[in-house]
Structure 1
Amino acid sequence: MGNINWLEEVEKRKDSLIKDTQEFLQINSVLNEEEASPETPFGKGIEEALQYLLHKGEADGFLTKNVDHYAGHIEHGQGEELVGILCHVDVVPEGDGWTDEPFSATIRDGKIFARGAMDDKGPTMAAYYALKIVKELDLPLSKRVRIIIGTDEESNWQCVEHYFKHEEMPTMGFAPDADFPIIYAEKGIGDIQLGLDFKGEKPSSNVTLLTFESGRRLNMVPDHAKASLEVTEGMDKITHAFNEYISEKGIEGGYTKEGNALYLNIKGVSAHAMEPDNGTNAGYHLADFLYSLGLDASGASYVGFISEKLAFDSRGKKLKINFHDEITDDLTINTGVFRYDRAASVGTLGVNIRFPVTCDTKESEEQLRKEAVSYGFDVNKFNVSPAHHVPQDHELIQTLRKIYEEQTGDKAELLSIGGGTYARSLEAGVAFGPLFPGREDVAHQKDEHIFIEDLIKATAIYAQAIYELAK
C-alpha cells in the first residue's frame, strides 16, 4: 500500500464532517431518568443520539448493532481479533452562563460550541469519519474494527457493563475521550455518598438551616448553590455579612427575604472533577459562609463538616487522605452534590475522589469514615472503579506513539489523568486525544467547544491509527 495522506483524505470530507458533527451535537443527550424505559433506559435524548450514529453507520454500509438500547457498535473489517474504539454519546448537564444555546452547535472563531463538543460527541464523530475513510479507501484489514458506543459514561457506566456481558472484549483499543498524545494511566475513581445522622432536636439557635442544595453530578464542580434559613433574630446582620463575604471572595451571590425566611444563593464556576481547582465550588463557599452563623445543631454539623474537612482542599489534606505517586500524581477530591432538607431529615453529600494508581483505597475509606463519624455522618456508599495502567512497551502504545509523531512532528509523551475514560474497560486500552497540547480543557465547562482544525487533525490521526492497528 502506498503512502496515504490522511489529512488530505479528511479535508476532502471536511464539509460533511462539520455538518454531521453539528447535527450530532444538536441532540440534547443529557441523562433523563424520568424518561427511563426498556427502549430509552437513559432517556429519549440519549437514545436519539445512539440511533443517529447507528443509522448513519447502516447507511454507510457498516455492520451495526443496538445492544438493548444500552450501547451499540459500528463494525468494519474481518478477522479473529477485534480493535475497539470506545466512545460515548451522553453528555453532562449543560450548566449556566453559555454565550450561545448549549445544544446549538454554533460555529464561531473557527470552533464548534456545544455541550459534548469535546466530551465526547465531537471526538466520536471524528472516530466515525476515520473508520469511514478506511472503508472508502478499501484498505485491507486483518482484524475487525468496532466503534463501541456507550450511553452512560458520565454517570454509572451501566452501558459498557451491559455491553460486555453480551459482546466480545476487544484485544486492544483506544478511547478518543481525553488528551493527546497518549494517556496510558488513569486514576481510580471513587463515588462516595455521606449521610448526616439527624438527631431530631428542636432548633437551638436564632438561625436554622432549612434547606441547602448545590450540584448535579459527582464529576462536576457545582456552579450554583442555594440555601434557605429561618432567622428569628439578626436578619440584617446576616445579610450584611453575606454581602461582605461574596465581595471579599470575588464571587457572585444574592439573597431575598420573606418574613423570617432568608434565601441565599451563590454562583461558582463549573469544571471537571478530575481537577477541581479549575473551577469554583459554589457549595463550598455557601457552606463556608453559613458555618460562621452559629446554626442549629444539625445545620452546624452539616456545614461544619463541609467547611472544616472538604472546602477548598482538592487534595484531601484536611481529611488526611492526601496521596501522591509518580505515575498519576496527586489524589483529588470534589464534592459535587449537596442536599439538605431539615423537614425531611435529609443531609447528604456526594463526593468524587480520584485515587492514584498505587493508592490503597481501603485505607482512604477507613480514614474518611473516621473523619465523617466525628461530625455525625455515615459513609453510605463507597464505590471505586480501579485505576488503569498499560505498560509503556505495549504494542498499542508503541503504534500510537509512532502515528502521533508522524502526523504532528511532536514527541508523543505518555500522560496520566485523573479522569476516567472507557479505555479502562479494556485490558489493553488507552485514551488517545482529542485535546491537543496547549489547548484549554473546556470539557464540562460553559462554552465547551472544539476547534474545527483540531477535529480535522484528530480524524486524520484516528484514521491512520485504525489502519495501523488492524492492517
Structure 2
Amino acid sequence: MNWKKLAHNYQAQMIQDLTTLVAINSANDPKQETTEFPLGPGPAHALQQMLAFGERDGFITKNVDQLGGHIQYGTGDEILGIFGHMDTVPAGEGWNSDPFLLTNVDGQLFGRGALDDKGPSLAAYYALRILKDQNIKPSKTIRLIFGTDEENQWRGINHYLEVEPLPDLGFSPDGEFPVINGEKGIVSYQLQFPIAATTGDQVLMSFQAGLRPNMVPQSATCVVQTLDSSELVNHYNYYLKQHPQIQGNALIQDQAVTLTLVGQGCHAMEPENGYNAATFLADFLADQRFDDQAQAYLQFIQTKLHLDFTGTKLGLAYQDETMGALSQSPDIFQYDQTNSGNIVINVRYPKGHTAGELQEQYQQSLPINGNVTAAEHAQEPHYVSDSDPLVSELLKAYRTQTNDLTSQPMTVGGGTYGRLLNRGVAFGALMPDGPNVMHQANEYITIDNLLQATAIYADALWRLTKNK
C-alpha cells in the first residue's frame, strides 16, 4: 500500500474535521461540571464530535457517560488500543490568532489542540479509516479510545476502563516519533509557606501566576503597597532591560503598584524551553525590601527554583542511565499577605527514587512550619523494552514512511495514556525535527506533519494487525 498517497486523498476533509474540533473549547473547567457533564460541557462536546465522525464514516462507536469513548474496527480476540484525548489545556494569553479558529498560515495550522491532541487523534482516526476504506480486515479488534481529562487527573479514561476492557497492547498518538517507550514518573507537590506578621513600608499584597500544574506560566502579576512607587517602577524597568527575553509593565494606583511580567509558556515536561514568568518576577522582587513573610517566599523562589530545571539547588538532581534526569517545573503560585504562600511544582522523575522520597526532600527545604503535600496521585515511571515486538513494529512503520534510519526509541518526561498498558507506548505525532509547541500560545501542527503521521499510523496499524 502507498500509505502516503492514500493519506493525501483525505487532506481536505481532515482539515475540515480538525477545524470543527478546534472550535470546541474543551479545557476542563471545574465550575461547569454537572451531573450530565461530569467534566464540563467542553470536553464532552469534543468527545461527542469525534464519535460523530466515526458514525458518519460507518464505524462502531460508544460513548461512556460523556467521560470517554471509542471508535472500533475489526473483530479479533485481541484488542489494539490507540489512546487519544479530546480535552486541552486552557488557551491562555499571547495568541496571534483566535485559538479556537483553526488558522492556516503557510501550511501551519494554528489552534488550541492542533498538536495536543486533536490533530494527532484525527491522524490516527484517518489511518483507521484508510484501512476500512481499503477493505483491509485486521486480525485484532482496533479501538481508537478517547479520554476527556488527560491534562488533569485522567478521570475520564479511568472511568472508561471501569466499563470497557483494557486493551492487550497499544499506543498513544500524543508524543513524538519515532517511539517513546519510556515515560518518567509524574507528581505535583504543593509547597505551603508559614504565616507571619506583615509589617514595613513596602508590603507584597499578592503574587499570582499559573493556570495548570503541567504548564510553565507565561504571565505573572503582583501587587505591592509602597511609599515610593516611582523607585520600585524604576528598578523594575531596569530589570526588564537586563532580561530582554521577558516583557513587563507597571501600573501605579495611589500607593499600590501592580507589576505584570510576560515570559514564554511551555509544557512542564521541558521547562527549559520556556521563560517562567513567576520565577523571573520573584527574582526581581526578592532584591527589594519586604517583610519577613514575603521575603522568605520570594527568596525561596529566587534561590531554589529560578532557572533550575533539575532540582540541583534543592539536592534533588539525579538521573537514570535509561530514563535520563529528573526535571522540576514550578507552575502555580499564589500568595496573599493575609494567608500563606503556595507553590505547585511539577516533577518528572526517572527510576531510582519514589515520589515519597522526593516529597521528603522538598519538606526539608522549607522554612519551619512549612508543609509539602502531593497535589495529585503520582504516576510511576513506565518503560517498555526496545526488543518488544510492539516497539520494533512501530519503529519499522516510522522508518518505512520517513526513511529516517537513525532516530531511536526514547524516554521523555511527558505522561501519556500509553502508560495505561504494560505494553503501551507513545507514538508521534510530533516529528523529531519539529518544534514542540504543546501547551504554548500559537500551538500548531503542519499539514505535512498531519499527513505524514496519518501514513505512519496506517502502516503501523496494518503491521500490528495483519494476518500472519
TM-score (norm 1): 0.96
Residue 216 of structure 2 corresponds to residue 240 of structure 1: no
Q: Distance in 1 between matches of 2:28 and 2:361?
A: 33
Given the alignment, which residue of 198, 206, 212 partners 1:211? 206
1:267 is displaced (CA, Å) by 0.7
Equivalent residue number for residue 185 of structure 1 = 182
SS at structure 2 position matched to 1:339:
strand
Q: Distance in 2 between matches of 1:286 and 1:212?
A: 9
1:362 is displaced (CA, Å) by 3.0
Cα pair 1:22 1:112 within 8 Å, conserved: no
Equivalent residue number for residue 450 of structure 2 = 455
Q: Distance in 1 between matches of 2:206 and 2:356?
A: 33
User: What are the equivalent positions in structure 2 for 1:244-283 lying under 5 Å apart?
Assistant: 244-250=238-244, 251-283=246-278
User: What are the equivalent positions in structure 2 for 1:140-219 lying under 5 Å apart?
Assistant: 140-199=137-196, 201=197, 203-219=198-214
Residue 120 of structure 2 corresponds to residue 123 of structure 1: yes
Equivalent residue number for residue 401 of structure 2 = 407
Q: Distance in 1 between matches of 2:194 and 2:165?
A: 45
Q: Distance in 1 between matches of 2:394 and 2:169?
A: 12
Q: Distance in 2 between matches of 1:306 and 1:206?
A: 22
1:204 is displaced (CA, Å) by 2.5
Which digits, 9 at most, give the CA deviation of each residue in 1:98-123, with x for residues without a partner?
Answer: 12111110111111111111110000
Given the alignment, which residue of 56, 59, 72 partners 1:62? 59
Equivalent residue number for residue 295 of structure 1 = 290
Q: Distance in 2 between matches of 1:353 and 1:13?
A: 40
Q: Distance in 2 between matches of 1:149 and 1:261?
A: 48
Q: Distance in 2 between matches of 1:215 and 1:190?
A: 17
Which digits, 9 at most, give the CA deviation of each residue in 1:37-59, with x for residues without a partner?
Answer: 12222222211110001111122
Cα pair 1:357 1:389 within 8 Å, conserved: no
Query: What is the RMSD computed on CA atoms of the aligned residues?
Result: 1.4
In structure 1, the gaps of 5 or more residues are none
After TM superposition, the structure 1 stretch with the greater mean CA deviation from structure 2, 355-364 or 16-25, is: 355-364
Equivalent residue number for residue 29 of structure 1 = 26
Equivalent residue number for residue 423 of structure 2 = 428
Equivalent residue number for residue 366 of structure 2 = 372
Instruction: Give the count of matched residue pairs.
Output: 463
Q: Which amino acid aligns with 1:359?
A: H
Q: Which amino acid aligns with 1:19?
A: Q
Equivalent residue number for residue 136 of structure 1 = 133
1:195 is displaced (CA, Å) by 1.3
Q: Which amino acid aligns with 2:411?
A: S
In structure 2, the gaps of 5 or more residues are none
Cα pair 2:180 2:425 within 8 Å, conserved: yes
Q: Distance in 2 between matches of 1:35 and 1:307?
A: 36
SS at structure 1 position matched to 2:445:
strand
Which digits, 9 at most, give the CA deviation of each residue in 1:59-101, with x for residues without a partner?
Answer: 2221111111111111110121100000001111112221211
Q: Distance in 1 between matches of 2:440 and 2:109?
A: 14
Q: Distance in 2 between matches of 1:26 and 1:357?
A: 40
SS at structure 1 position matched to 2:34:
coil
Q: Which amino acid aligns with 1:240?
A: N
Cα pair 1:224 1:265 within 8 Å, conserved: yes
Residue 329 of structure 2 corresponds to residue 310 of structure 1: no
Q: Which amino acid aligns with 1:185?
A: G
Equivalent residue number for residue 386 of structure 1 = 380
Q: Distance in 2 between matches of 1:11 and 1:224?
A: 40
Q: Which amino acid aligns with 2:105?
A: R
Cα pair 2:194 2:367 within 8 Å, conserved: no
After TM superposition, the structure 1 stretch with the greater mean CA deviation from structure 2, 156-165 or 274-283, is: 156-165
1:342 is displaced (CA, Å) by 2.0
Cα pair 1:192 1:381 within 8 Å, conserved: yes
Q: Which amino acid aligns with 1:401?
A: L
1:215 is displaced (CA, Å) by 0.7
Q: Distance in 1 between matches of 2:392 and 2:356?
A: 34
Cα pair 1:252 1:268 within 8 Å, conserved: yes
Q: Distance in 2 between matches of 1:172 and 1:236?
A: 63
Equivalent residue number for residue 17 of structure 1 = 14
Equivalent residue number for residue 2 of structure 2 = 5
1:295 is displaced (CA, Å) by 1.0
Q: Percent identity of the aligned residues?
A: 39
